[in-house]
């Protein structure tokens, strides 16, 4: 019988954000709690993994189908970050993420009627147990995070739910992503225009999202490699050019905000190599109108990898333009083109994080110093990580978002 424990699900979410991790090797006790690759609990040789759909090159994206959930892949997310400014000029950051975790490979036709592409339909991906008639029966877990960050405060919440058509799901007509009262509501079956609503006891926001730019496909046409040996990959597309206006409410005080947002969509079934510990991910908006997606997957323990250069890590980046064009820079093609150096560490409730970075990409003439709006942007949720707005200086100025995990 297939077993799945809740802790490992929470950790699987870490794995999600880390773009995966499938390793049962016990880690040394001192690193166990923070070493994400060790706790996800599934090896890629596991029978169950084989039953989940694999990520393969050459996938043809189709919309709105691929805006929906891909239930036969183990994990998936809808990830929005926004750099906002109030009418009084205060800088803010807002984050909303909805994650999906599959407990078991699901029958494709039953739960994913949009799948017609033979590439995604694998023969193993059928349900072992007879389908229950209950509307509650599901193999999909959803969870969502929301945060609002100013230079002084950082507020974060999370919600969990089983998939249920009444309160936690992703659906069309019109397009909607929701978990309880946190909701992305599009006007049509397209992503935009849309309204994102998040309500919490201490903060809430309601943001109008709009974008005219084409979607950006990361990696090779949306096939995003996560390891040098090509073993691990995900499907990954972004919309880095979102115009935002709306209002936020902090403890009853309502303010109008405007700004720019960035949406990431990613799904996969197998994550991380055995030695990968965590990642540092950046979504940066440069003052020349371009955007830069950049991540590194760190090998070894975080202390060794981040504090002592040179780091053994897998890099990937894409410089993107509003007309839909872009250039990829990654460890495979340009092994030494990206240099990332932590400049400053911050002690937070979740532990120590490198909150300030120097990033150099000579081929793109980029040399940036990245500093956080609020160094205490740790997310003290069931999966601890750091995520918050950043400011850029150096070769370019600008704003963006940074995510640090596995520390």
- What is the total residue count of the chain? 407
In this complex, which beta carbon is closest to another protein, that of residue 138 or of residue 291?
A: 138
Least Å distance, CB 108 to another protein, is 15
**Residue 111 interacting with another protein (CB under 8 A):** no
Distance CA 362, CA 355 (A): 22
Q: Which of 47, 58, 88, 133 binds another protein (CB under 8 A)?
A: 133
**Residue 251 interacting with another protein (CB under 8 A):** no
What DSSP letter does each residue of 172-231 carry, written as one string?
TTTTEEEETTEEEEESSSSS-SEEEEEE-SSEEEEEEEE--SPPEE-TBTTEEE-STTS-
Distance CA 147, CA 166 (A): 24
**Residue 138 interacting with another protein (CB under 8 A):** yes
**Residue 110 interacting with another protein (CB under 8 A):** no
Distances (CA, A) of 164 to 136, 146, 232: 6, 20, 30
**Residue 47 interacting with another protein (CB under 8 A):** no
**Residue 181 interacting with another protein (CB under 8 A):** yes
Within 189-218, the residues that bind another protein by CB under 8 A are 199
In this complex, which beta carbon is closest to another protein, that of residue 108 or of residue 390?
A: 108
Tokens 């990829």 locate to 328
**Residue 223 interacting with another protein (CB under 8 A):** no
Q: Which of 65, 159, 206, 307 binds another protein (CB under 8 A)?
A: 159
Distance CA 22, CA 37 (A): 6
If you ran DSSP here, which 8-state letter would residue 87 be given? T
With contacts defined by CB under 8 A, name the span among 166-174, 209-217, 232-240, 317-325 that binds another protein: 166-174
Q: Which of 31, 46, 382, 391 binds another protein (CB under 8 A)?
A: 382
Q: Is the peptide bond before 64 cis (omega within 30 degrees of 0)?
A: yes
Least Å distance, CB 199 to another protein, is 5
Q: Which of 116, 167, 187, 327 binds another protein (CB under 8 A)?
A: 167
**Residue 32 interacting with another protein (CB under 8 A):** no
Intra-chain end-to-end CA distance of the chain, in Å:
34
- Among 351, 274, 266, smallest CA distance to 316 is for 266
**Residue 63 interacting with another protein (CB under 8 A):** no
Q: Give backbone dihedrals phi and psi of 108, rounded to 5 degrees, phi first.
A: -65, -45
Binding site for another protein (CB under 8 A): 1-7, 9, 103-104, 127, 129, 132-139, 141, 158-162, 164, 166-168, 180-182, 199, 380, 382
């Amino acid at each position: 019988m297939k077993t799945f424990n809740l802790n490992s699900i929470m950790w699987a979410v870490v794995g999600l954000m880390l773009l995966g991790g499938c390793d049962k090797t016990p880690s040394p006790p001192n690193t166990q709690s923070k070493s994400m690759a060790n706790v996800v609990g599934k090896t890629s040789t596991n029978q169950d993994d084989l039953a989940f759909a694999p990520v393969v090159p050459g996938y043809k994206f189709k919309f709105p189908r691929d805006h929906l959930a891909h239930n036969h892949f183990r994990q998936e997310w809808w990830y929005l970050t926004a750099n906002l400014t109030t009418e009084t000029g205060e800088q803010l950051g807002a984050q909303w993420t909805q994650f999906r975790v599959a407990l078991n490979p699901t029958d494709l036709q039953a739960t994913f009627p949009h799948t017609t592409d033979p590439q995604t339909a694998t023969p193993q991906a059928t349900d072992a147990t007879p389908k229950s008639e209950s509307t509650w029966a599901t193999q999909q877990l959803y969870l969502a995070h929301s945060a609002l960050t100013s230079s002084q405060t950082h507020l974060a919440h999370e919600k969990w739910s089983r998939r249920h058509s009444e309160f936690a799901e992703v659906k069309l007509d019109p397009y909607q992503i929701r978990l309880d009262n946190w909701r992305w509501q599009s006007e049509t079956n397209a992503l935009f225009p849309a309204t994102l609503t998040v309500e919490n006891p201490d903060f809430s926001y309601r943001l109008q999202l709009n974008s005219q730019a084409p979607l950006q496909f990361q990696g090779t046409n949306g096939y995003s490699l996560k390891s040098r040996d090509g073993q691990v990959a995900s499907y990954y597309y972004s919309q880095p050019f979102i115009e935002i206006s709306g209002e936020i409410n902090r403890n009853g005080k309502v303010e109008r905000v405007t700004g720019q947002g960035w949406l990431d969509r990613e799904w996969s079934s197998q994550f991380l190599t055995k030695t990968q510990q965590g990642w540092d991910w950046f979504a940066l908006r440069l003052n020349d109108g371009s955007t830069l997606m950049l991540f590194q997957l760190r090998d070894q323990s975080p202390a060794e990898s981040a504090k002592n250069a040179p780091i053994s890590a897998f890099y990937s980046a894409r410089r993107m333009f509003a007309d839909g064009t872009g250039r990829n820079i990654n460890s495979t093609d340009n092994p030494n083109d990206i240099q990332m150096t932590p400049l400053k560490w911050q002690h937070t409730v979740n532990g120590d994080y490198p909150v300030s970075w120097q990033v150099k990409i000579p081929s793109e003439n980029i040399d940036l110093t990245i500093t956080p709006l609020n160094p205490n942007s740790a997310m003290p949720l069931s999966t601890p990580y750091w995520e918050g707005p950043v400011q850029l200086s150096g070769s370019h100025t600008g704003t963006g978002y940074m995510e640090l995990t596995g520390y």
